[in-house]
Amino acid sequence: MIGEHCWLGEGVWIDNLAPVTLGDRVCLSQGAFLCTGNHDYRSPGFDLRVQPISIASDAWICAGAVLAPGTRVGAGAVVALGAVARGEVPAGTILQGNPAVRVGSRRRPGPHPDPPLRAASRLPAPILLIVPTLDSHQLLDRLVESLQRQSYPHWRVLFIDGPSRPEHRARLEELAGADPRLCWQPQDPALPGIFGAMNQGFSAARPDEWLLFWGSDDWAPAADVLERAAATLAEGDSCDLLVCTGRYVRHGSPGRPSRFRRLGSYRCSLFLGSTPPHQATLISPQARSLGLRYSPLFRLSGDLDYFLQLSSHGDLRVRSLDLVLVHMAAGGVSGVQHRRRLREVRLAYLRAFGSLWVVPFALRYLQRALSLLEGRSVA
């Protein structure tokens, strides 16, 4: 998919074995090579492996540069002459060399001088809820009913369904047929897992929509929570992320809260171990314009890594709202794969803070222990 006003130089090669997405005003200079396929040289069958490539608006892939399979280039980034890039290229950065490393930063060029993040919030603020599903139709009635009784009408839901059984797909069709605000689409096999479905949701959002990610077992605790969140978005002090609170519920009883504790700046708060709950964080169109996505390196902690990458942008404006926006069922697969989660949390902090990763890692679980104590006092 190619956006508006893109430039493709002579000799550009787009090896589209998997989807390749270009935002608006992307420049691919002469001889740039976008490679979506590779072979597993360890396999006796030399198996083909493919991964999509996405390039956000205003990015420049210079002459002779190479993007490896799975590369995601952020808005306004530059991959310099002959560089070889792979993985996440943060918005506004300049990469050079093989392997490409950051050598500088850049604001958006040309006739679009506004910073990547700017105020655009006003009523009504339409909200898109992305809900990944997989044979979870028995849980969806509670979620849907909690939304249909909301006093705020400007919302819609997109269910992104993995390879579910026919009875689950039939229930999705039934829900979509009964309420035009509910729709669903099959998950792209090139974007596997829950965070792959959430990345698909980024692409589905309309330009004016705020994005919220829920699970099948999440639901709104009161009929006015979306209205209260939208009212905050409409206030004069605009923001790019609105961070509310979630609360886990077990057997009908409230448990520990999932709360973001502001301890100075947003990035400082993350460094001190505080974690925004993704189910209670509204993401603005401006934050999405940075082009960041959930990394395929993570199966359980991609949300933490995403917020850490967002926090590297100094002009990111974050507001906290003392509102329990969502109830979440306690348990689930992420609650039992403790070793993998610990490894992924360490990797996320290592990617963001380097050798200082141990500080946020330790403080994160100290805060988790405090929230468990708070949950027990509530119960």
- Domains of the chain, by residue range, sit at 7-105, 127-329
Burial bucket for residue 219 (CB in 10 Å: 0-12, 13-18, 19+): buried
Give the pLDDT confidence score for residue 159 in this predicted structure.
Answer: 97
- Report the pLDDT value the prediction gives residue 117, as an integer from 0 to 100: 44
Q: In this structure, which amino acid lies at residue 246?
A: G
CA distance 276 to 218: 16
Q: What is the pLDDT of residue 370?
A: 74
- The token duo for 130 is 């992305």
Task: Answer whether 247's CB lies under 8 Å from 259's CB.
Answer: no
Rounded Cα distance, 101 and 89, in Å: 9
Q: Alpha-carbon torsion 195, 200, 201, 206, what sign?
A: positive
Residue 122: predicted pLDDT:
47
Element (H, E) at 327: strand 318-329
What pLDDT shows up at residue 376?
Answer: 56
C-alpha closest to that of 65 among 109, 99, 115: 99
The one-digit pLDDT tens for each residue of the chain (379 residues) are: 788 889 898 899 999 888 999 988 999 999 999 999 988 878 888 888 889 999 998 899 999 999 999 999 988 899 999 999 999 998 888 999 999 988 888 754 444 444 444 444 344 689 999 999 999 999 999 999 999 999 999 999 999 999 999 999 999 999 999 999 999 999 999 999 999 999 999 999 988 899 999 999 999 999 999 999 999 988 756 799 999 999 999 877 877 888 898 888 999 999 999 999 999 999 999 999 898 999 999 999 999 999 999 999 988 999 999 999 999 987 655 456 788 999 999 999 999 999 999 999 999 988 877 766 665 554 4
Residue 151 CB coordination number (10 Å): 12
Q: Dump pLDDT digits (tens) for 23-82.
A: 889 999 999 999 999 888 788 888 888 899 999 988 999 999 999 999 999 888 999 999
The residue ranges of DSSP E strands in 182-263, in sequence order, are 182-186, 210-213, 218-219, 241-250, 253-258
Q: Degrees (nearest 5) of the Cα angle 363, 294, 336?
A: 55
Of residues 68, 94, 99, 65, the one with CA closest to residue 82: 65
Predicted local distance difference test score (pLDDT) of residue 108: 45
Sign of CA dihedral 101, 105, 110, 113: positive
pLDDT of residue 378: 47
- Report the pLDDT value the prediction gives residue 120, as an integer from 0 to 100: 41
DSSP secondary structure of 28-78: E-TT-EEE-EEE-TTSTT--EEE--EEE-TT-EE-TT-EE-TT-EEPTT-E
Domain 7-105 in CATH 2.160.10.10 = yes
Q: How far apart are CA 204 and CA 187, in angstroms?
A: 12
Q: What pLDDT sits at residue 42?
A: 81
Q: How far is Cα 35 from Cα 275, in angstroms, rounded to an integer?
A: 35
What's the start-to-end Cα distance of the chain, in Å? 50
CATH number (3.40.50.620, 3.40.50.300, 3.90.1150.10, 3.90.550.10) of 127-329 reads: 3.90.550.10
Q: What is the pTM of this model?
A: 0.67
* Amino acid 121: pLDDT: 39
Do 332 and 217 touch, CB atoms closer than 8 A?
Answer: yes
Predicted confidence at residue 371, as pLDDT, reads 67
Cα–Cα distance between 148 and 156 in angstroms, integer? Answer: 10
Using DSSP, state whether 99 is helix, strand or coil: coil
